Amino acid sequence: MAQPDSKKIFFENLSGAGKAIAVLTSGGDAQGMNAAVRAVVRMGLYVGAKVYFIHEGYQGMVDGGENIEEATWESVSSMLQVGGTVIGSARCKEFRTHEGRLKAAHNLVQQGITNLCVIGGDGSLTGANLFREEWSGLLTELVEQGSIEANAVQKYSALHIVGMVGSIDNDFCGTDMTIGTDSALHRIIEVVDAIMTTAQSHQRTFVLEVMGRHCGYLALVSALACGADWVLIPEMPPEDGWEEKMCQKLSANRAVMKRLNIIIVAEGAIDHNNKPITTEYVKNLVVKCLGFDTRVTILGHVQRGGTPSAFDRILASRMGVEAVLALLETTANTPACVVSLCGNQSVRLPLMECVQMTQEVQRAMDGKRFEEAVRLRGRSFENNLRTYKLLAHRKPESELPISNFNVAVLNVGAPAAGMNAAVRSAVRVGISEGHKMFAVSDGFEGFYKGQIKEIKWADVGGWTGQGGSLLGTKRTLPAKHVEKIAEQMRKHNINALLIVGGFEAFLSLLELLTARGKYDEFCVPMVMVPATVSNNVPGSDLSIGADTALNAITTTCDRIKQSASGTKRRVFIIETMGGYCGYLASVGGLAAGADAAYIYEEPFDIRDLQANVEHLTEKMKTSIQRGLVLRNENCNENYTTDFIYQLYSEEGKGVFDSRKNVLGHMQQGGAPSPFDRNFGTKISAKAMQWVTKKLVETFRHGRVFANTEDSCCLLGMRRRALVFQPVVQLKDETDFVHRIPKEQWWLKLRPLMKILAKYKTSYDVSDSGQLEHVVRNRPKESDASVAM
């Protein structure tokens, strides 16, 4: 395997020997909590600490006894894919009292526990911080009562707390996403997609109520993901007279032959007078004013249930490992922290700073300072709201700016789920900016053949939930046809290009940039939005379509593993797509709980394969019944899927048998995940706004002329920021032979997968979250949370 870089900081020196860590889940349950528990237990055991479950949350801590149970490696097997929390959660009134916390302290000291991982909402985390602050006083009181020895006060002098936010509402300030939110969005979108088919059949209007008593995140993001006609959330009550405006909008949509209407209402939706807006009120309004056949669906606890999504499993696993690292590094003076997500990075933030800002949001809403409430929710929430308004509500023709610019949109490369959401967003934002939008069918092949036509606002209605590429996409590169493409650019007077695609789209932009020297037609603003399941585009940590593919892999692996349930011991060899890029195999392996993942970026030989077989054999001899090995399709030309399958079959004789499965194109198909719909929608909207800015900047003497490097860009997510990067500057970062970036952020997640599969490895903690402070208003351009 690839050797670790000696310059990096590794966590071997962060020993957990002699430490006891307890993990509990408190408050409402959320999908992904089990993944977090599993990560805390396994990472804790890995570093040599004792780890304990506290069953039934704070109630179990107060009651003690069997509720505090030592965890083993095997006790968290097969829980990664289970929804809810297997260690139980409960709201505990007794813990809110001093006597209750005294009992809890006594129970922890009896087990020698001074490190707590608390997974819950702001109430649970606030309670944990209070417990921490009272800790030394509680121990002194226990000594006075004779419940513990006097030396215990010195021995267990400080209680260390690390929080992870588990809440489907995503209502906690300081993190882009809380554990469970993405899975809840999956449940909502599954229901909305199903409802849309029946609504279309009967020309019905559906009013859906989603969870979110104090936070409208689920309602807002699901409305964005399904292209809902109207959304009502507590942070932004509708203006007076909204009833009439909503009915006009529904009526206008029916007038352009739209056969259904979707209205999404957060359960805590209110008007400007803080009066609740109920689904029944909205339904009666539509029936009374328009006479439409209208039905109400209340999703309720369906949103909390089901299997956690790939995103939530990865998020929870990363947070769990980071929480243990934070506990190993903590000192008596370190404030309680919460592990958060910013962009694609784990960060540590002071727990009470986050809690106080979360409470500020509610105070702003109670005081009817709704704009302040939206701002306090963070840039992600603001961006969601702004994008929804931009795409859902079309301005009258008279209010649109007149730009006289023509912008073409096309897909290039293999299809990826979320491409259509990106095209819809580009078209509608472009029209809102006053441009005339043109759709190019079948990529550059369609371009040189003249398959170009104007595309209107209503033409892209209902596109967000559609998989594949409705425009059509081909891998054809433009170099061989530049003359004909230039002719079509001239014929249609195309002033800018927006390309949605994968590595071929990146190569296409480089070729068009070169063609500028010969054809002035290509001296126009050109921008690319990355969309490929392989996630192999340089300049971007994430691509549209990769999340949907990860969910397809994870779901399939779950089913494959379940097929061996109750049978003899079995190892499954699964081949994933990705070309030479190992993103799907590695991150899919982390989400599915794989024992190994073979990729091109991390060379391996027969000794590594042998070591993996021996490792699995040892595990199988204990209580582990199923093994999972992922292989990237191009990881090695000699060690093929068949070879690895035969090797495992032969070497595992008498202990386990093997099966193989090639997932193939199912990874490219299906409806896009909520993440991909929103990522595609928002990144494409940002790209189109950049196009508008560049068109204005480069319009001189009656024509557009853009020939600088920064007028041909790729818009990508880099760590915490969305960045426009000139494609020519990305050439040095690219391995063109293998069609991958030279450096890939997700390689740092591979040791995490190995640790959770019980391998001894080095884990680079030099990039792990240092304690930061909550930033109230991040600069606009650093809104990496655009993804969700």
Selected catalytic residue, list 169, 442, 595, 676 = 169
Q: Are 674 and 168 a contacting pair, CB within 8 Å?
A: no
Query: Positive or negative CA dihedral for 560, 564, 566, 571?
Result: negative
Tokens 């379509």 belong to residue: 545
Long-range contacts of 757-760 (CB under 8 A, 24+ apart): 757/593, 757/594, 757/595, 757/596, 758/42, 758/46, 758/73, 758/615, 758/619, 759/615
Q: Are 186 and 306 a contacting pair, CB within 8 Å?
A: yes
Beta carbons within 10 angstroms of residue 700's beta carbon: 9
Burial class (CB in 10 A: 0-12, 13-18, 19+), 552: buried
Write the Ramachandran bin of 701: left for phi over 0, alpha for psi from -120 to 50, otherwise beta.
left
What does the DSSP 8-state code read for residue 595?
Answer: S
Q: Are 706 and 692 a contacting pair, CB within 8 Å?
A: no
Strands 712-718 and 473-474: unpaired
Task: State the number of CA atoms in the 13 A half-sphere of 664 facing the CB.
Answer: 3
Q: Identify the three-state secondary structure at position 725.
A: strand
E strands present in 95-214: 115-120, 160-165, 205-210
Report the distance separating Cα 527 and Cα 443, nearest Å.
15
Backbone angles phi, psi at 452, to 5 degrees: -125, 130
Report the distance separating Cα 290 and Cα 253, nearest Å.
12
Tokens 């023709």 belong to residue: 397
Burial class (CB in 10 A: 0-12, 13-18, 19+), 702: exposed
Q: How far apart, in Å, are the Cα atoms of 352 and each of 150, 332, 348?
A: 31, 17, 12
676 is known as an active-site residue: no
Q: Identify the three-state secondary structure at position 76.
A: helix
Side by side, which strands form the sheet with 596-598?
596-598, 626-632, 570-576, 657-662
Beta bridge partners of 735: 740
State CA 93 to chain mean position distance. 34
Which residues, in sequence order, are CB contacts of 698 under 8 Å at separation 6+? 524, 525, 704, 705, 706, 711
Which residues, in sequence order, are CB contacts of 721 under 8 Å at separation 6+? 343, 781, 782, 783, 784
Report the distance separating Cα 362 and Cα 377, nearest Å.
10
- Report the chain's C-alpha Rg in angstroms: 27
Q: Among 669, 668, 667, 663, which Cα is nearest to 573's? A: 663
Which residues, in sequence order, are CB contacts of 234 under 8 Å at separation 6+? 212, 213, 214, 215, 216, 266, 268, 269, 270, 365
| b/e per residue 15-39 (b: at least 16 CB within 10 A) | ebeebbbbbbbbbbbbbbbbbbbbb
- Residues tagged active-site: 169
